[in-house]
Amino acid sequence: PPKFKVTIVGSGNWGSVASKLIASNTLKLSSFHDEVKMWVFEEMLPGGEKLTDSINLTNENVKYLPGIKLGHNVVADPDLENAVSDANMLVFVTPHQFMEGICKRLVGKIRSDAQAISLIKGMEVKKEGPCMISTLISQQLGVNCCVLMGANIANEIAVEKFSEATVGYRGNRDIAEKWVQLFSTPYFAVSACQDVEGVELCGTLKNVVAIAAGFVDGLDMGNNTKAAIMRIGLREMKGLSKLLFSSVKDSTFFESCGVADLITTCLGGRNRRCAEAFAKNGGKRSFDDLEADMLQGQKLQGVSTAKEVYEVLKHKGWLEMFPLFTTVHEICVGRLPPTAIVDYNEHAPKHP
Ligand code: NAD
Ligand code: 13P
C-alpha cells in the first residue's frame, strides 16, 4: 500500500515539538515516509541567517525551541505551497490568527486524498457566528479535519516529560487512529474521542480562563481564588460549548483536553504569565507590548480569543450568562480594572 506523507504547517514553539514527536514516529512506522516536511514562516535570525537554513543545517529551531533536536528527517521549507504539495497528512499548528490567510493560499494546492489535523487553539468569528479553526480548514480546503488538544506545554514535552493528549474526530475512527499512531510516544499518551467540537472548544476557551488566572496571580490573590476562577471557568467552558454545539459530551471535559489542559495552562502557560504581568502593572502596559517583550516572537491566543468569545456572546445576547469570559475581555481592553476578575456576587452563571 502507498505510504503516508506528512507535512507540518507551522514551526513555532508547539509546531517544533510536534515535528519532533512526528519525526520520531515516521522513522519507526513502516506505513509512513521517513521524511517530514515543516513549513516555516521565513524570518532572519539576528546573525543574518535565514531561519529555514538554520533549521536544515543544525536540525534545531534556535528561535522557537532552542536546544532541542527535531530529528534529522525533518526538512524545513519556506514555500508553503511546495511544502504541502505531496503530503496526504497535513498537521496545522500556527497561531490561530494566521490560519485564514494560510487557508486562502492553500485552496486548490493540496492533494485530493489529504487528511488534516489541527493543533491550533482558537476560533474565528464570522457574521454567521463562531467558526472553529478545524471547520475553517475543512470548509476552505475540502478535507476532513481532526483536532489534537491537551495539557501540553510544549517546552515540557520537548524534554520528554510525560503528558497526555486528546484527538477529537467525527465519523471515521480509522483516521483518528492513524493520527493517534503518528503522535504517540512513551512520554506522549494520546487517546481518541468522538467529539471534535468539544475537544476544540476546550482547547480554545481554556486560554480565556488562563488570562483570568494570570490576573489572580498578578494581584497575589492566592490559591483558593485561583481555584475558584478555574472552577467558574470550567463551568463557563462547558456551558458555552454545549450552547454552541448540542452534540458536545460531558465526558470530554474530563479528558486531557478539558480539565487537565485548563490546570496546566493556569499554572504554567504563556497566557497566564503575560496576564500576571498585565495585572502587576495595573493594566498600564498593553498585552501587545507585553507579548512582544516577554515571548520573543511567540504568540498569545487568550486575549484575542476573549475578544472573539465576547463578540459571540454579545451577538447571541448571552453576556450575562458568562461573567468570567465577559469580564476577562473587559479587563483586557481597559474597561474594567484587573481586580474586577472576582466581582461575581450579583450575577452567578445561570446556564447548566
Ligand atoms: P508560537 O506561539 O511559537 O508562535 C510563533 C509562530 O508564529 C512562529 O512559527 C512564527 O513564524 C509564526 N508567525 C509569526 N507571524 C506569522 C505570520 N504572519 N504568518 C504565519 N506565521 C507567523 O506558536 P506555537 O506555540 O507553535 O502555537 C501554535 C498553536 O498551538 C497555537 O494555537 C497555540 O495555542 C497552540 N499550542 C501551543 C502550545 C505551546 O505550549 N506553545 C501548546 C499547545 C497548543
Ligand atoms: P499557553 O499558550 O498559555 O502557553 O498554553 C499552552 C497550552 O495550550 C498548553 O496546553
Closest CA to 334 of 267, 276, 286: 286
pLDDT per residue as tens digits for the range 126-161: 877 899 999 999 999 999 999 999 999 999 999 999
Q: Does residue 344 carry a pLDDT above 80? A: no
Active site residues: 206
- Name residue, grid cell 480554545: 204
For ligand 1, mutation pick of 41, 100, 155, 206 (most atoms within 8 Å of CB): 41
Tell me, what amino acid is at 133?
A: I
Q: What percent of the chain has pLDDT over 90?
A: 95
Cα separation, 90 vs 110, whole angstroms:
9
pLDDT per residue as tens digits for the range 206-258: 999 999 999 999 999 999 999 999 999 999 999 999 999 999 999 999 999 99
Q: Does residue 118 carry a pLDDT above 90? A: yes
The DSSP element (H or E) to which 133 belongs, if any, is: helix 133-141
pLDDT per residue as tens digits for the range 295-343: 999 999 999 999 999 999 999 999 999 999 999 999 999 999 999 999 8
Q: What is the pLDDT of residue 1?
A: 79
pLDDT per residue as tens digits for the range 255-265: 999 999 999 99
Q: Do the strands 115-118 and 145-149 form a parallel or antiparallel pair, or are they unpaired?
A: parallel
For ligand 1, mutation pick of 299, 304, 308 (most atoms within 8 Å of CB): 299
**Prediction ipTM score:** 0.99
Atom of ligand 1 nearest to the CA of 64: 3
Rounded to 5 degrees, φ, ψ at 165 are: -145, 165
CB-ligand 1 contact for 39 (6 Å cutoff): no
